[in-house]
Amino acid sequence: MRSIVQKVENDELDVDEISEQAMENNFYYNGEAEKVDILVRTSGHTRLSDYMLWQCHQESVIECSNILWPEYKFCQAWWTIFKWSYFKTLIVQDAETMELKKVEKESIKERYTNPAF
């Protein structure tokens, strides 16, 4: 973020040009980190302490577990992935349903914009 502030102060970047992509390009990892699907926070804490906030800000599941990291075994990891895949499936189905409803609504509007009566 400091690099964006410096660019604005040096008139290299206009405030209106600051976008998600501009922020992504100015992080320390230089845009090489992918978005996160699941972030597991062990030890029962529900705060992230600013850890990977940007990578988790869109469509990510944050799983807070009361288990300490050394005791987080295969079964807990499997259960976390199982829950994520189940809810991801529901989200995809909901999105498809909403898209179908949107298409139906638009086609109805097109058909009946100028009714014959």
46-91 confidence digits (pLDDT tens): 887 777 777 777 778 889 999 998 999 999 999 999 999 998 888 8
Do both 9 and 47 map to the same domain?
no
Do both 40 and 93 map to the same domain?
yes
What stretch of H or E contains 85?
helix 74-111
Partners of residue 86 on adjacent β-strands: none
- Rounded mean pLDDT, 87-104: 82
Angle at 92 between CA 83 and CA 27, to 5 degrees: 80
d(CA 72, CA 116): 67
What stretch of H or E contains 41?
strand 38-41
**What is the number of structural domains in the chain?**
2
Question: Whole-structure pTM over 0.95, yes or no?
Answer: no
Question: Whole domain around residue 63: which residue ranges?
Answer: 34-111
Do both 24 and 64 map to the same domain?
no
Mean pLDDT for all residues in the chain: 82
DSSP state of 12: S
Do both 46 and 65 map to the same domain?
yes
Closest CA relative to residue 39, chosen from 55, 26, 18:
55
